[in-house]
Amino acid sequence: MTVAAPRVLVADDDPAIRKALGIILAQYQVREAGDGAEALRAFEAEGADLVLSDLQMPAMGGLELLRRVKAADPTAAFIILTGAGTVENAVQALRLQADDYLVKPFNVDEVLLACERALEHRRLVLENRGYQQHLEARVAEQARQIEGLLVDALRSLATAIDTRDDYTGGHVERVARYAAATGRELGMAPGELRALWIGALLHDVGKIGVSDLVLKKPGALTDDEYQEMKRHPEIGAKVMASSSFLRPGIGAVLHHQEHWDGTGYPAGLHGEEISLQGRIVAVVDCYDAIVTSRPYRPAATDQDALAEIRACAGTQFDPAVVDAFLRAAHAGFPADPDTPVLPERGEAG
């Protein structure tokens, strides 16, 4: 495949200089401009790999052209040509990232070598930029894959816990969905939603420390059995604390049985002493329990469940969370496709 020759833009108000440079640079695609303003218009319209510019020109000088070209394309190569060079001008040109500074009269070899160096520098910069972008894309893809594996592992763990209660299949997935929808109604940021989703999915993880005799008991629990059941938020919090990935969701696990009026457990927290995650999961967990059939009672209708949640606002539940939950319920608890913490089953996350 034939590689196109580099594009060179020559800006000089002396036609003889432009003609001479056109001959010297015949191996390149050369365009000419009679002053800086004309050169800038040509660069903005068609671009260039390299600009050779006189320092002093009408309308716009070489240093201003250099500044404008670099602002438009920082990778563009640029060489200043001048017949009245000063140390100050040379220093300023280099500060503006000129590749070279040649004083007239110049010789052919000097110009060709300067152009080769400048174009090689541009090639390396572009190559490095492409490498960085490729590397960043690979890192991002690997991060998505790792996130997907972690999400799958969380779901497997949550499902394993869920299946210990024969009558609550799918409970944790629904609670996570309801919680995320409620969190969005409350204006939670993406990172907060991610933590909420993790915590909601694993809110019952502490039940791994509760015996099957208690967990699967069809009737009312004795006082001792109830005390054992009440340990599950603290057991779950210890599980969450052991992992930096899980730790952000610890509030949902530890506080989902706390009540707004201070009558819940394990710590009897009151009002906003309870984490927002915990206040949200308390509502959605209760809602799903009400609309799910249990051995000791049939499932309630959706309207009856919403009415019961509404009635408990200000006592068991945070009123603001209840309002947000009711809005989410009215909308059908939509899953947000732009929320990366809510991957569909089978996706990478």
Residue 349 has pLDDT above 80, yes or no: no
- Residue-wise pLDDT tens digits, 136-153: 888 878 777 777 767 777
Torsions phi, psi of 317, nearest 5?
-120, 155
Residue 348 has pLDDT above 60, yes or no: no
Task: Give the model's confidence band at 166: pLDDT under 50 very low, under 70 low, under 90 confident, else very high.
Answer: low
* Average pLDDT of the chain to the nearest whole number: 85
Residue 297 has pLDDT above 50, yes or no: yes
Cα separations in angstroms, 125 against 46, 130, 333: 20, 9, 49
Strand partners, 29: 7
Distance CA(139)–CA(234), nearest Å, equals 36
Question: Using only C-alpha atoms, what is the Rg of the chain?
Answer: 34
- Residue-wise pLDDT tens digits, 109-133: 889 999 998 999 889 988 888 888 8
Amino acid (one-letter) located at 197: W
Return the beta strands (E) in 247-290 as ranges: none
3-state secondary structure of 213: helix
3-state secondary structure of 52: strand
Predicted local confidence at residue 85, as pLDDT:
62
Show the tokens assigned to 338: 């732009």
Lowest mean pLDDT among 12-21, 112-121, 154-163, 201-210: 154-163
Show the tokens assigned to 176: 């996570």
What domains sit in the chain, N to C, each tagged with a CATH number? 7-133 (3.40.50.2300), 163-330 (1.10.3210.10)
Mean pLDDT of 150-162: 73
Predicted local confidence at residue 340, as pLDDT:
42
3-state secondary structure of 169: coil
Mean pLDDT of 270-282: 97
Cα separations in angstroms, 42 against 48, 65, 82, 276: 9, 12, 21, 58
Amino acid (one-letter) located at 238: K
User: Strands 50-54 and 100-103, how do they pair?
Assistant: unpaired
